């Protein structure tokens, strides 16, 4: 079995360390909202009540059908809370293709 020369091992280790430091630096910038190379998409706050009424569902039926908490749904509809970004995406998909979301939740 051939052994890697010490100089080459050090070079590999140095590159790995530099890669890890660069990744940690990017993660820190990303957490602060300063990451370069990514993009931030802001989804508009959906009208949850309009989506639900268009589907002709009660609050409890809507929440059960799509795996949501009824109280959270009520908070969104009454303006006490605003859906987070991931919930906004889910609500957008529900508004466009409710059957697909229902199948995904049921699976």
Q: List, for residues 57-68, the tens digit of each pLDDT value.
A: 999 999 999 999
What domains lie within the chain, and their CATH numbers?
1-40 (no CATH), 48-106 (1.10.260.40)
Average confidence (pLDDT) over 29-41:
68
Q: What percent of the chain has pLDDT over 70?
A: 81
> Which position has the higher pLDDT, 60 or 29?
60
Write down the pTM of the prediction: 0.62
> Which position has the higher pLDDT, 100 or 21?
100
DSSP string, the chain: -PPPPHHHHHHHHHHHHHHHHHHHHHHHHHHTT--SS-----PPPP-HHHHHHHTT--HHHHHHHHT--HHHHHHHHTTSS---HHHHHHHHHHHH-HHHHHHHHH-
> Which position has the higher pLDDT, 81 or 19?
81
């Amino acid at each position: 079995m051939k052994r890697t020369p010490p100089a080459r091992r050090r070079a590999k280790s140095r590159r790995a360390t530099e890669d890890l430091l660069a990744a940690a630096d990017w993660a820190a910038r990303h957490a602060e909202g300063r990451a370069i190379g990514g993009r931030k998409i802001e989804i508009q706050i959906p009208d949850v009540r309009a989506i639900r009424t268009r589907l002709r569902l009660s609050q409890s039926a809507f929440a059960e059908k799509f795996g949501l908490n009824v109280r959270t749904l009520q908070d969104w509809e009454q303006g006490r809370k605003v859906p987070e970004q991931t919930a906004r995406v889910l609500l957008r998909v529900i508004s466009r293709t409710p059957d697909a979301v229902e199948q995904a939740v049921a699976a």
